[in-house]
Structure 1
Amino acid sequence: MKKENKTNKKAVCIMSGGMDSTLSAYMMQNEGYEIIAVHFNYDQRTQTKELECFENICASLHVKQKYILDLDFFKQLGASALTDKTIEVPTQGIEEGVPVTYVPFRNGIFLSMAAAIAEKESAQIISIGVVEEDSSGYPDCREEYIKAMQNAINLGTKEETNIEIKMPLVHLKKSQIVQEALKLNVPLELTWSCYKNEKKACGICDSCRLRLNGFETAGVTDPIPYE
């Protein structure tokens, strides 16, 4: 039986610079958690922009402790349009099944590394902005999978380490995410979702389509620039 952690409330927030993980971090802060921000550079197409967004969002959240981790493993692995530039990012609409933008076991690897940080920092929470319905068919965005990872993490850590993985957006639609972000005054203009571009979002990749549809359904204008 794991012991209860009595230390200050801390949440390790996996933050890509995107809208979902940013809202998740704001929700954790709103619940009174000290944010420990974690960002991964994995040679993704929009790495420079995502890192810039992460830094700006951390400033907005007044984050005191952050980790920026460089992973060249995914580039060596390839197998995804996000990390292998010989594979085109789809722009014809949402694909059936698991799309080519899926990075093999990415969230599993991210959660494992976040767990190591959480154990070191005596954090009670790992926050991840997975969304099941709008996840583009990614198998590592499912609630069942994240819960299984939580169980594995607690089995593989010290007795006094007791980590809960929070996924506050998992059952929300993109329009609901936009609405929740507006309620918490999340600076959506600092976030980025495009899979292809770093200056102006393409507006036609799966991620842009999901984002734009969410804003349209919510009845508000997306503040980031598009081609």
Structure 2
Amino acid sequence: MSNKATKKAICILSGGMDSTLSSYIAKKDGYEIIAVHFNYGQRTEQRELKAFRDICSDLDIVNKYEIDIPFFTQIGASALTDESIDVPVDGVESGVPITYVPFRNGIFLSITAAIAEKEEAQAMYIGVVQEDSSGYPDCTDEFISDITKAINQGTKETTNIEIITPLVHLSKQQIVQYAKELNVPLEHTWSCYKESDEACGVCDSCRLRLNGFKLANIKDPIPYKV
């Protein structure tokens, strides 16, 4: 058993506000962080990669993985990975939004579990948000609990991984406030689904983010078109 000083956590870090705060919480929890980022053909892939690298530098993370998952663009079915489907900007979708990428978190967690097993990490952090998310089925407590069980079932007996979701029951307002408390460099994060130079301000992700800042009475430090 590794001693407490060297407990390791793999943080799934997209470069967005939620995953960045999660990584800062992992640091506060005393873990040595190994960061994992996925390039999966999303519209803002290059901008998210820049955010990931900036945040790794802020957190002094040396051990990091940048993983390419090209097949999401092959299957399409999501406005994030299929250029022929427009990203909705009117905020009136009901049910699972068109920005949902099929089983994305399940695939991310499976790949991360393989890395965790290799690195002998005890935990994986993911910034899923249940109540204030866009209604994605792979962001719930129940899903995380079931996939944790499956991962531990399908790995070596000596592998015992806990999936930690520190934000799952927080609102975007609480996330902004918590990030402020931990001095998270929010100016390095990127949330927009559509644009890479200035955030669009009208997609679901921008709306949720801007509303969180507004309710927290804090100014969002990134540039917006609208």
Q: Same fold (TM over 0.5)?
A: yes
User: Is 166-175 or 89-98 further displaced after alignment?
Assistant: 89-98
Partner deviation per Cα, 1:53-92 (whole Å, 9 max, x = no partner): 0000000000010000001110101000000000000000
Are positions 1:9 and 2:7 aligned together? yes
The Cα of 1:135 is off from its aligned counterpart by 1.4
Matched residue count:
223
Are positions 1:133 and 2:131 aligned together? yes
Letter paired with 1:108: G
Are positions 1:21 and 2:19 aligned together? yes
Which residue in the other structure is 1:85 paired with?
Answer: 83
Letter paired with 1:208: C
Contact 1:99 1:138 (C-alpha < 8 Å) held by counterparts: yes
TM-score by length of 1: 0.97
What is the aligned counterpart of 1:157 among 151, 155, 158? 155
Runs of 4+ in 1 over 4 A off after TM superposition: none
The Cα of 1:134 is off from its aligned counterpart by 1.4
Within 5 Å, give how 1:54-203 maps onto structure 2: 54-203=52-201
Question: Once the two structures are aligned, what percentage of the paired residues are identical?
Answer: 66
CA distance in 1, matches of 2:45, 2:169: 27
TM-score by length of 2: 0.97
Contact 1:80 1:101 (C-alpha < 8 Å) held by counterparts: yes
Are positions 1:45 and 2:37 aligned together? no
Structure 1 gaps, min length 5: none
Secondary structure in 2 aligned to 1:36?
strand
CA distance in 1, matches of 2:168, 2:29: 17
Letter paired with 1:58: C
RMSD: 0.7
Contact 1:125 1:165 (C-alpha < 8 Å) held by counterparts: yes
CA distance in 2, matches of 1:166, 1:94: 31
